[in-house]
Structure 1
Amino acid sequence: MKQHLVECGVNAPASEGAIAMNVQGPSKNVNLRIDYISRTMLGNLPDLLIDLLEIASYVYCADQRLDRGTDKLSKYGENWRRSLKFLIPVRELLVWQDSEVQEALIDTLGFLSDDAYSFEFRQAMAPVQPKELYFHDLIDPEDEHDGVALFSGGIDSFAGAVTDLVANGRSLTLVGHYSSTKVRNVQEHLIAELKRRGHEHRLSFIPVWVSNENVTAREYTQRTRSFLFACLGLVVARMSGKDAFSFYENGVVSINLPLAGDVIGGRATRTTHPKVLRGLERLFSLLLERQIRIQTPLQWLTKTEVTQLIEAGGMVDLLSKTASCTRPRKWNEKQKHCGLCSQCIDRRFGILAAGLGNYEASDLYMNDLLLANRDDGDELRMALAYVTLFKKVSATPKERFLVDFSEIVSAVGHFPDMPASEAGDRLYDLFQRHAKAVEDVISSAVKEHSTALYRNEIPPASLLAACYSRKVVEQTPPSNYDAEAKAFMDRLSTPILEFAFDKDQKRVHFRGGLALDGTNFKLVSALMDAFRLAKTKRSEVPYLPAPDLATALNISEQAMRTQVKRLRDAIEPLAVSMGIPMGQDTFIETKERSGYRINPLCREISVADILDPTPPRDSA
């Protein structure tokens, strides 16, 4: 794992091998600029949120400056993960030194980008960058809008804005981030068109420019962009007096299963992954000491269904003006999509499946989705991996979904107010609908180009020719498929979490060798008497109020909540090993204003039965 030290707010690094980053002064190499903020909104901005903006900008810009090794897909697993240590000056030092705040920050960023993070904060000394210098083009106060949402200029964000404005009749403040003027031009053109079509008084736009200055980006994956984007959304929401903001993104991209075995961890974008969003909510709520919510109104829609929302809102003629490509440096005046990156592939499949191909000509892509000759092996492999993935999804029965796509496990327990089992079912249906859309696009293209395919007139390294040959995308079931399916079905027949409480060894055992000890054991121990007594009396298991549980553990309530989260994280692997979807309340259940208890659906068994489940043979 590569080690990197990032010294922020300094003119030059003090340590050998470190990089220096600064948002101000003569050594400034990080741009942070926010336009079109009202004077009233600026007055509502506390120093703590300025700290957050600077931290997010440093993390995002460092992510771009520090590469991950080779850019070849076939070797992308090499040196993928990095260890990043940031030294950052802040205005509200005590808040950022809080252990729970740092844990939420490190855990969320780690899952988002697959890197290891550590932060060392110090008190910012005078002169401190005044907040006014980040804000340009101050405007007069405007009417308060119903909601704040993030706006990238892609299909999903445009569809979400159109739906809220037209179908839902809401007024919106949209926040856009750009590191290229080409991206800002796309965003501003779409905003201007929405205003021109009757939404001028119900729509405002706040563009934010964050980028490296005088430094060439070396890492294009930008896995921490959503952290920056979410921080921008929070800042604007709080400046507007709101405790919530929206991410417009479809659910398939939110989960974003890896396209291939070497597309590891963070290479499968986790921009709006439910676990990331819950982590951000926790971080923001801790910082502001109030409940912050991140809404995802398009979570249960596919790309095709989201694209159709633009047509339903009467804005389908603007479809081709949206931009999804991650490579703006390659854009030219006519073509804003390379056609090779995963975002371009996903976009074009969605448009064609929605039957809206006539509203976006294929020559607006530098490389046609189906017919372009992808002579670079990785370019063809990327497109084939996309089709292969969803062909496999289509062939997967519901009872194998969590087994064959274990990445889903990290999401099912992070949907608010939804049992993990229901979330799993809805995700299965969502992915099945998207898989059908991909299949329909390929099938229609094969019919349309059947003669050319038969005559070998289609480039052999094109996606359509490769799919037509059926040599690459066929999936052979594993040889032990039947045995695995039976074992998984057997586990599903009794989806009960069993555990053994070993008081002597101070451990809580689960099947498969997983065990809890230390503070995790103490937490379970504090809840065991009430659980056992209720089971004996066949009565409802009572909740232990949060202050009482903290007292039993001899720690603060804040530390107790952190410990509950650590325990839940510790047993997440049971979702794969036992085939039981692990939600937040699967083992330790929480009820607002009531407290905590061991979930009554769990079953305590003896230590011997869980450590040695095989019954002894009769002696003969």
Structure 2
Amino acid sequence: MRKFRIECGVATASAADTMTMDVHGKGKNVNLRIDCITRSMLANVPDLLLDLLEIATYVYCADQRMSRGTAQLTNFGENWRRDLHFTIPVRDPALWQHSEVQRLLEDTLGFLSDDSYTFEFHKAKSPFLSRDVYFQDLIDASSDYDAVAMFSGGVDSFAGAVQDVVLRGRSVCLVGHSSATKVKSIQQQLVDGLKARGFERRVTYIPVWVTNENVRPNDHTQRTRSFLFACLGMVIAHMSGKDRFTFYENGVVSINPPVAGDIVGGRATRTTHPRVLRGLEELFSTLLERPVQIENPLQWMTKREVTMLVQEAGMADLLATTNSCTRPRTWTAAHMHCGACSQCIDRRFGILAASLGDHEPATNYKIDLLTADRSTSDDLRMAVSYVSFFKKVAATPKERFVVDFPEIVSAINSFPDISAGEAANRIYDLFQRQAKAVESVIAAGVKEHAEALFRNELPAGSLLSICFARNSVEILPSSDYDSQAKALVDRLSAPVFEFAIDETGRKVVFRSAATLTEANFRIVEQLLPDFRSAKKEGREVPFTPPRTLAKRLRISEPSLRTQIRRLREALEPLVVDLGLPLDNDSFIENRPHAGYRLNPAVRELSLADIRASTIPGAPPVAPDVTTGSP
């Protein structure tokens, strides 16, 4: 775990390895600006909320400055997490030094970004500027509205806004944070669109700027953004005389279990995870000494269902103006969505499943969801993992759901108005509906592009080609077409990896002539006896605990995780070579708290059989890069 020390409110660090941050002093290198606040609201800001604003700003901006592991990191553990120690001047140190406040702050942030946090608060030595230092463009207007809601400019936040404003007739103050002018412009266009439809009196927009000044970000995951967002919401709500505010996010993304093996911990966004919202509620309630509530009215809706709210409100023509992409650096006038990040993939599936594709051209995406070649980077693995994940969800009975998807356990106890059992049932139903939406998009895509698929005219690295398993395409008869298209989708989560063991050459051989050798072979060699005996006896293949496997290989557990990652990376070319969907568990399966095993779905053949079925001209898997293991 990498350690960082951050001294805030100072221009000069006390040690060479310490980062300095200042939001308003001589060493100012962080920007915080909140526009369009009414003068009456400004009078209602206590010192503790100004402290909260500054703490959230420092945490968010420091999060961006301090790097994590590489983009390809699968061994997220010690190399991905960070140990962050903040020293921050505050107006009311006694409050912030309270053990319960510090516990809530550290625990909530720790779960949110998967880092370790400690805080040291002290009384500010220099006088603070006036309370309006962060509030620009004060206005004379009413601050009397029904709700305060966070507004990002994405599909979900816009759908939530139109549900409240248009369908429910409520007045809403939309608080929009942006760190780039492109994002601010999108939010403003959507607000202007609502006002132009006759809802001007029901919509108030407060833009907020929080950015690093003259510093290039080292980490773009922005896992602490929702902490900043929530603190902004709390401040604006309190200034408006309210003890509640709203996030708009569909329930699948809110709970957001990792769809790919390396999208875990800090790499899996938890921006509106129920546990995070409950932790923030408790923190704010403790600070203000009265109950605070954070609502998410879209919690039990899928992306498709949320998107359909926009159509129901008669705002489908504004759908293309919304933006969900997490990579604004890649945006161009022609392509406002990268099409590769998880949010773009989730968005496009939702829009197509809602039959609203006509309101958002595919050309808005740099990479088309279904037909673009994704084989040149991690883009293919993310898209295939997304579909494979929801196919696995669809095949999971309710009684196995919590067992097979343990990531949801942290959510089921975080709904105060329902029991854990009821929450588990609702989450299961929610994910089943999402799985059906994903399946419908793939099936429709297979049907639409059937001729191109049959003729191998789509790129081998396209999502449809992988789903269609292009190396074994058969002509589909015109009758019963839909059921056969569905059967193609059903093959998605059940790839048949066929392999053989070359005992003499000490390597694993696949049908493409690809091989695993050296350290990669030794891992398979250790897992093979349990796999073979379980298959022979017709029983479940057991997992080997990490400690046991590492001991057999005479390496440490961190080294084992590194080698498993490298083995999985070495297999990635097989996605295109064999036309099989591939995720991290397709060959060597990992289950938390259980260990590793060869996936029971793989099939061992004789060396002669595997060589007889080798695909001519297929390139070998990249050779082993590990030299440190025996």
Asked if TM exceeds 0.5, the reply is: yes
Is residue 76–residue 265 contact of structure 2 (8 Å, CA) maintained in 1?
A: no
User: For residue 374 of structure 1, what is the amino acid of its counterpart?
Assistant: R
Q: Distance in 2 between matches of 1:102 and 1:233?
A: 20
Amino acid in the other structure paired with 1:379:
D
- CA-to-partner distance for each residue in 1:48-73, whole Å, 9 max, x for gaps? 00000000000000111111121125
Q: Which moved more, 1:143-152 or 1:461-470?
A: 461-470
**Mapping of residues 182-261 of structure 1, within 5 Å:** 182-261=182-261
Q: Secondary structure at the match of 1:377?
A: coil
Residues 470 and 287 from structure 1, CA distance in 2 versus in 1: closer, same or farther, beyond 3 angstroms? farther
Q: Which residue of 2 aligns with 1:557?
A: none
**Runs of at least 5 residues in structure 1 that lack an aligned partner in the other structure:** 485-574, 578-620
AA in 2 matched with 1:354: A
- Give the counterpart letter for 1:33 in structure 2: R
Q: Map 1:574-585; keep pairs closer than 5 Å.
A: none
Cα deviation 1:452-473 (Å, max 9, x = unaligned): 0111100111111111118994
Q: For 1:81-480, what aligned pairs fall within 5 Å after superposition?
A: 81-469=81-469, 473-475=492-494
Q: Distance in 2 between matches of 1:125 and 1:35?
A: 28
- CA–CA distance in 2 between the matches of 1:235 and 1:483? 58
Q: What residue identity is the alignment partner of 2:375?
A: D
Q: Report the equivalent of 1:567.
A: none
**Contact 2:29 2:212 (C-alpha < 8 Å) held by counterparts:** yes
Q: Aligned equivalents of 2:429 and 2:69: distance in 1?
A: 37
Give matches, 1:548-567, under 5 Å: none
Offset of 1:77 from its aligned partner?
5.2
> What letter corresponds to residue 466 of structure 2 in structure 1?
A
Change (3 A) 1:78 1:463: farther
Letter in 2 for 1:266: G
Q: Which amino acid is 2:465 matched to?
A: A
Whichever residue aligns with residue 86 of structure 2, its letter is F
Residues of 1 paired with 2:180 and 2:218: CA distance?
Answer: 15
Decide whether the 8 Å contact of 2:9 with 2:25 is kept in 1.
no
Q: Is the Cα contact below 8 Å between 2:35 and 2:208 reproduced in 1?
A: yes
**How much does 1:378 deviate?**
1.0
Q: Aligned partner of 2:303: which letter?
A: K
Provide the rounded CA distance (Å) in 2 between the counterparts of 1:294 and 1:221.
Answer: 23
In structure 1, C-alpha distance between the alignment counterparts of 2:78 and 2:326, rounded to whole Å? 22
Task: Report the identity percentage.
Answer: 61
Q: Does 1:39 align with 2:58?
A: no
Q: Is the 8 A contact 2:10 2:21 kept in 1?
A: yes
Instruction: Please report how far the alpha carbon of residue 401 of structure 1 lies from its aligned counterpart in structure 2 after TM superposition.
Output: 0.2
Name whichever of 64-73 and 147-156 sits farther off: 64-73
CA distance in 1, matches of 2:425, 2:71: 36
Kept in 2, the 8 Å contact 1:70–1:78? The answer is no
Corresponding letter in the other structure for 2:8: C
User: For 2:493 and 2:258, how far apart are their aligned partners in 1?
Assistant: 18
Specify whether residues 367 and 476 from structure 1 end up closer, same or farther in structure 2 by C-alpha distance, changes over 3 A only: closer
Is residue 7–residue 87 contact of structure 1 (8 Å, CA) maintained in 2? yes
Give the CA deviation at 1:186: 0.1
Gaps of 5+ in 2: 472-490, 497-530, 541-591, 595-630
Residues 146-172 of structure 1 deviation map (CA, whole Å, 9 limit, x = unaligned):
010000000000000000011111000
In structure 1, how many angstroms separate the alpha carbons of the residues matched to 2:133 and 2:72? 41
Contact 1:77–1:264 under 8 Å retained in 2? no
Q: Shift in Å at residue 141 of structure 1?
A: 2.9
Q: Which whole-Å CA distance do the structure 1 matches of 2:470 and 2:22 have between them?
A: 53
Give distance in 1, aligned partners of 2:358 and 2:402: 38
Measure, in 1, the Cα distance between the counterparts of 2:129 and 2:311. Answer: 45
TM-score (norm 1): 0.76
Quote the RMSD (CA, aligned, Å): 2.1
1:78 Cα deviation (Å)?
6.2
The answer for the alignment partner of 1:5 in structure 2 is 5
| Number of residues of Structure 1 aligned to a counterpart in Structure 2 | 488
Checking the alignment, whether the CA contact within 8 Å between 1:403 and 1:576 is kept in structure 2 is no
Aligned counterparts of 1:169 and 1:423: Cα–Cα separation in 2:
29
SS in 2 for 1:242: coil
What is aligned with 2:27? 27
2: distance between equivalents of 1:245 and 1:264? 28
For 1:80, the equivalent position in structure 2 comes to: 80
Q: Which amino acid aligns with 1:291?
A: P
Deviation string for 1:390-415 (max 9, x for gaps)?
A: 01101100000000000011100110
Counterpart Cα distance in 2 of 1:183 and 1:261 = 30
Mapped partners of 1:379, 1:269: distance in 2: 18
Q: How far has the Cα of 1:357 moved from its partner?
A: 0.2
CA distance in 2, matches of 1:347, 1:460: 23
Aligned partners of 1:32 and 1:210 also within 8 Å: yes
Map Cα deviations across residues 493-513 of structure 1 (whole Å, 9 max, x no partner): xxxxxxxxxxxxxxxxxxxxx
Query: Conserved in 2, the CA contact under 8 Å of 1:73 and 1:378?
Result: no
Amino acid at match of 2:442: I
Note closer, same or farther for the CA distance 1:483–1:71 as it changes in structure 2 (3 Å cut): same
Tell me the distance in 1 between the aligned counterparts of 2:59 and 2:376.
Answer: 32
1:285–1:291: 8 Å Cα contact kept in structure 2? yes
Letter of the 2:84 counterpart? L
Query: Given residue 134 of structure 1, which amino acid in structure 2 is its aligned partner?
Result: Y
- Cα drift, residue 329 of structure 1: 1.4
How far apart are 1:74 and its partner, in Å? 4.6
TM-score for the superposition, normalised by structure 2: 0.75
- The one-letter code matched in structure 2 to 1:254 is S
Q: Which residue of 2 aligns with 1:56?
A: 56
On the 8 A contact 1:73/1:263 being kept in 2, the answer is: no
Contact 2:2 2:78 in 1 (8 A): no
Aligned residue type for 1:223:
R
CA distance in 2, matches of 1:160, 1:129: 37
User: Can you list the C-alpha shifts for 1:403-443, whole angstroms capped at 9, x where unaligned?
Assistant: 00000111001101100000000000000000010011001
Deviation at 1:576, TM superposition (A): 9.7
Compared with structure 1, are the counterparts of its residues 476 and 423 closer, same or farther at alpha carbon in structure 2 (3 Å cutoff)?
Answer: farther
Q: Distance in 1 between matches of 2:438 and 2:179?
A: 32
Tell me how far apart the structure 2 counterparts of residues 237 and 217 of structure 1 sit (CA, whole Å): 30
Q: Distance in 1 between matches of 2:112 and 2:65?
A: 17
Runs (4 or more) in structure 1 with deviation over 4 Å come to 73-78, 476-480
Kept after mapping to 2: 8 A contact 1:3/1:83? yes
The alpha-carbon deviation at position 75 of structure 1 amounts to 5.6
Q: Can you list the C-alpha shifts for 1:106-144, whole angstroms capped at 9, x where unaligned?
A: 000000000000000010123213221101000003150
**How far, CA to CA, are the matches of 1:239 and 1:292 in structure 2?**
14
CA distance in 1, matches of 2:495, 2:422: 29
Contact 1:304 1:350 (C-alpha < 8 Å) held by counterparts: yes
3-state SS of 1:326 partner: coil
Asked if the contact 1:255/1:274 (under 8 Å) is kept, the reply is: yes
Letter in 2 for 1:356: L
